[in-house]
Amino acid sequence: MNVPADKKTIGILGGMGPGATHALFGLIISHTLAQSDQDHIRVLIDNRPGIPDRSAFILGEGPDPVPAMLESARGLEQMGADLLLIPCNTAHYFLDRIRPFLKVRILDMIRICADEIRSTRPGTGQVGLLATLGTYATEIYQRVLQERGLQVLVPDKTDRGKLMQAIYGPQGIKAGHISQHVKEIGRMGERLMEAGAGVVISGCTELSLVFEKHAFSFPVVLPMRSLAREAVLLAGYHLREDRELQGGSYNRNG
């Protein structure tokens, strides 16, 4: 397929997990200003669920995901991708190991999210972070947000364990069970707000599947939506800005 010279092709390094990959593609479509099929962005997707779990490796409990991630990234590059997106927060810990072997740009969802919080909520001093144990262990959000003058609040040990079970458990979000975890995740977010957070970051793409579909009493920033919007612009397209999508990358209570 020929892409206009002023436009770029997006590649999604997917499968981490499949639901998040599907959701990111949908966000790219819904945020692109288009009147016809031909107005949309060319998107290449490698949905590769066999990539080893990122948190398991970080916690010393599984194999290194980088070889499989790099193989996928190279394949997307060879197919014509100009920009690579990874719909997995924890996977961003490995970007520095992957980038030297690629010619194309990998967008950093963590930095894009942090920049959006800083620019759209300048009065915010503290942010809550709901994420996997792997993401907490790497402190990838803490480093980036602290560079921008933002302090990160995380759940206590009990809530962190419950959150992992909600994501990875037999009845968890990765297994396709979303609605049954809404109340508990909501309570975790409320506790972070009570501790002083001005906004809560959905720091796991599986959690974004919950926050996209349900309303909460506190503002939530969705990094995957931030990533989708940035990718649309960098690919040379215009954002759709009708009322349904207003509010940037925050949920409808933001």
Q: Is the pLDDT of residue 2 over 90?
A: no
Q: What is the pLDDT of residue 245?
A: 46
Q: What is the CATH number of the domain that holds 15?
A: 3.40.50.1860
235, with CB counted inside 10 A (0-12, 13-18, 19+), is buried
Catalytic hit among 45, 204, 220, 227: 204
Q: What is the pLDDT of residue 252?
A: 42
Active site residue 113: no
Six-digit token pair at 154? Answer: 């995380």
Asked if residue 250 belongs to a domain, the reply is no
Task: Tell me the whole-structure pTM to 2 decimals.
Answer: 0.90
Catalytic hit among 88, 167, 178, 192: 88
Question: Can you give 23-44 as a three-state secondary structure string?
Answer: HHHHHHHHHECCCCHHHCCCEE
Asked if residue 247 belongs to a domain, the reply is no
**Left if phi > 0, otherwise alpha if psi is -120 to 50, otherwise beta: which for 15?**
left
Asked if residue 1 belongs to a domain, the reply is no
Domain boundaries, position 130: 110-223
Tell me, yes or no, whether 139 and 44 share the same domain. Answer: no
Asked if residue 4 belongs to a domain, the reply is no
| CA gyration radius, the chain | 17
Distance separating alpha carbons of residues 91 and 53, to the nearest angstrom = 9
Lay out the sheet containing 43-47: strands in order across: 43-47, 10-14, 83-85, 105-106
Q: What is the number of structural domains in the chain?
A: 2
| pLDDT, tens digit, 9 for 90 and up, residues 131-184 | 999 999 999 999 999 999 999 999 999 999 999 999 999 999 989 888 899 999
Q: What is the pLDDT of residue 4?
A: 72
Tell me, yes or no, whether 65 and 147 share the same domain. Answer: no
Q: Is the pLDDT of residue 242 over 90?
A: no
| pLDDT, tens digit, 9 for 90 and up, residues 110-135 | 999 999 999 999 889 999 999 999 99
Asked if residue 234 belongs to a domain, the reply is yes
Q: Is the pLDDT of residue 248 over 60?
A: no
Asked if residue 249 belongs to a domain, the reply is no
